Amino acid sequence: MANKLNIASIQTAILWESPQGNIKKYSSMIDSISEDIDLIILPEMFATGFSRSPKKCAESMNGISVSWMKQIAGDKNTAIMGSLIIKESGNYFNRLVFIHPNGSIETYDKRHLFTFAGEDKVYTAGAKRTMINYKGWKIFPLICYDLRFPVWSRNDDNFDLLVYIANWPKSRIYAWDTLLKARAIENMCYTIGVNRIGSDENNLEYVGHTQTIDMLGKVISDSIENKEMMVESTLNKKDLITTREKFQFLNDKDSFSIKK
């Protein structure tokens, strides 16, 4: 088990519906990452931007983007995660892909599709949560709109790190900042939010606010607004355990079941 986990969160402008162009951009940024990084986190729909044209943009799990992720994981000896448009069994998913350094893959299909933008009209919602065990850390990955739903995010699995990857627009960035802190505090876990910058063909502007928050709601690293950059942070498992044992807030949580 690793007491410390070193994270590199990538905040960038995403080229519209251009997997090859985006891969080239990410590769250039990742080249500068230090050897002690344990996990690289990319934004939501990192290969295309928030496209509602899955028939045009979808890839398979053997496509260019997942293949590139596997190459990065192997070359850098690190895990890498991000979401992209995947076609499977005739359905289209906004799928988060987590690739371990050894090439093994775990996935999560976005449950809460953004009805305001019609995401639910062209994508199929996921039904299961995914808990990832990596270097002794339990990681719970979620996608964008999931952030607004605390029941789905609830820490009833004793996870250590909650990750949200997003295309969250400037017009609602205050909600992003506020809800990330709320999820960290109520779940007593490290929480990372990775958002993009720039603009897209949906006429939306994005300003980033990529950040890492500790189990008490303190921001321990964050980005410069509107700047393409990597936000590096180090998480400490011992500090997490000590804080939980001191306050024991999770021992008083309510029990419930989730229905689709």
Q: How far apart, in whole angstroms, are the C-alpha atoms of residue 233 and residue 210?
A: 11
Question: Which residue of the set 110, 170, 181, 237 is catalytic?
Answer: 110
CB-count burial class (<10 Å; 0-12, 13-18, 19+) for 21: middle
Whether residue 69 contacts residue 97, with contact meaning beta carbons closer than 8 Å, is answered with yes
Active site residue 57: no
Active site residue 144: yes
Q: How far apart, in whole angstroms, are the C-alpha atoms of residue 110 and residue 143?
A: 6
Question: Which residue of the set 44, 59, 106, 119 is catalytic?
Answer: 44
Task: State both tokens at 241.
Answer: 């355990």
* Listed residue (219, 144, 140) closest to 187, CA to CA: 140
Q: How far apart, in whole angstroms, are the C-alpha atoms of residue 117 and residue 237?
A: 38
Helix ranges restricted to H, 102-232: 119-122, 150-153, 173-187
Whether residue 110 contacts residue 143, with contact meaning beta carbons closer than 8 Å, is answered with yes
H or E element in which residue 133 lies: strand 132-134
Active site residue 110: yes
Q: How far apart, in whole angstroms, are the C-alpha atoms of residue 8 and residue 23?
A: 16
Question: Which residue of the set 144, 170, 181, 237 is catalytic?
Answer: 144
Could you give the residue numbers annotated as active site?
A: 44, 110, 144
